[in-house]
Amino acid sequence: MKTITFDQIKTSSIALEMEEIIPDEIYAWTEDDFAKYQVPIGNSRFPITDFFDITVEGEANGPEEVKMIFNGDLNRVKYIGCKMSAGEIICNGDVDLHVGAEMSGGHIKVNGNAAAHAGREMSGGLLEITGDTKEFTGASYIGEWRGMTGGEIIVYGNAGKQCGECLTGGKIRVKGNCDILAGIHMTKGIIEIDGDVNRWPGGQMKNGNIVIHGFLGRLLEGFVYEGLVEDPEVDGEVFKGKYIKYTGDIGLNGKGSLYLDAEANREKMSEYGEIDDEYTSIREYRNL
């Protein structure tokens, strides 16, 4: 096992682009190799050792035997883990754009917040973010129509707008709240949100599943009420409790499924005359 530690020396006002520094490419590198490497910054390149004190310990026969650890303020370090297929990356600090973008395997853990496009177009592996993410988590890139196709993203905090846009596979789990248009244009996969959702999840979705355990502020008109279901099984996983099930988006003849926790969305049950004494409380909506 090889451990490569990047201890930050100084920051840059222009973001460092780290897409070349992934286990696939540097598993055989020594400290001398890093001393020769120049990292892209804007239209120029600068020695990476100007910004990080790099320590290499152990040996690796392939990327799966590499652990990379970044320590410091990584707010101006982007493309961390971009296109990686194996190995492990740990970021001890907030990170910039595109962490885990197009990754196909391995494990990235961000002990902090992530900027936009975290896990963009990833096809495999596990991306964990202990803080919040900004917009377009697990989404497609600008002008593209295919987002995340496989793997798993876990956000332990809140997620910004259009989380899971154009999702075509894999799973996104948000343990906090989620902003508008989660799962817009999705065709497959699952988005599970533990907290509250601002409004309009699943817009123009054709297939796939969205499970919301918290309160939904507003639902799009393109979703058809299917009824109250108990312990629904979604992609092989059983969600205990009672859920309001919708199908949509009918504007695109969509067959996606949206499940809302019945207790957290008690007032929606009254629209269908199905409220009963069992539901005695409602979570107050928090404006995200």
Does 14 map to a domain? yes
Dihedral pair phi/psi, residue 269, rounded to 5°: -65, -30
- Check whether 285 has a pLDDT greater than 70: no
Does 47 map to a domain? yes
Reported as a single tens digit per residue, the pLDDT across 60-89 is 999 999 999 999 999 999 999 999 999 999
Confidence of residue 271 (pLDDT cuts 50, 70, 90): low
Does 57 map to a domain? yes
Confidence of residue 267 (pLDDT cuts 50, 70, 90): confident
Instruction: Quote the number of domains for the chain.
Output: 1
- Check whether 279 has a pLDDT greater than 50: no
Does 166 map to a domain? no
- Check whether 35 has a pLDDT greater than 70: yes
Does 78 map to a domain? yes
Tokens of 197: 């959702």
pLDDT at 272: 63
Domain containing 57: what range?
1-86
CA distance 97 to 288: 22
Strand order in the sheet with 77-78: 44-47, 38-41, 16-17, 77-78
Structure-model confidence comparison of residues 272 and 194, the more confident one: 194
Does 54 map to a domain? yes
- Check whether 284 has a pLDDT greater than 50: no
Q: pTM of the full predicted structure?
A: 0.93
Q: Is 158 exposed, middle or buried (0-12, 13-18, 19+ CB in 10 A)?
A: buried
Reported as a single tens digit per residue, the pLDDT across 133-165 is 999 999 999 889 999 999 999 999 999 999 999
**Residues near 186 by Cβ (< 8 Å), separated by ≥ 6?**
147, 164, 165, 166, 167, 168, 202, 205, 206, 207, 208, 210, 256
Confidence of residue 273 (pLDDT cuts 50, 70, 90): low
pLDDT at 243: 96
Reported as a single tens digit per residue, the pLDDT across 164-213 is 999 999 999 999 999 999 999 999 999 999 999 999 999 999 999 999 99
Does 75 map to a domain? yes
Q: Is 8 exposed, middle or buried (0-12, 13-18, 19+ CB in 10 A)?
A: middle
pLDDT at 47: 98
Does 205 map to a domain? no
pLDDT at 143: 86
pLDDT at 147: 96
The residues pairing with 244 across neighbouring beta strands, listed in sequence order, are 228, 260
Distance (Å) of CA 15 to CA 39, 68, 75, 118, 209: 10, 19, 8, 16, 36
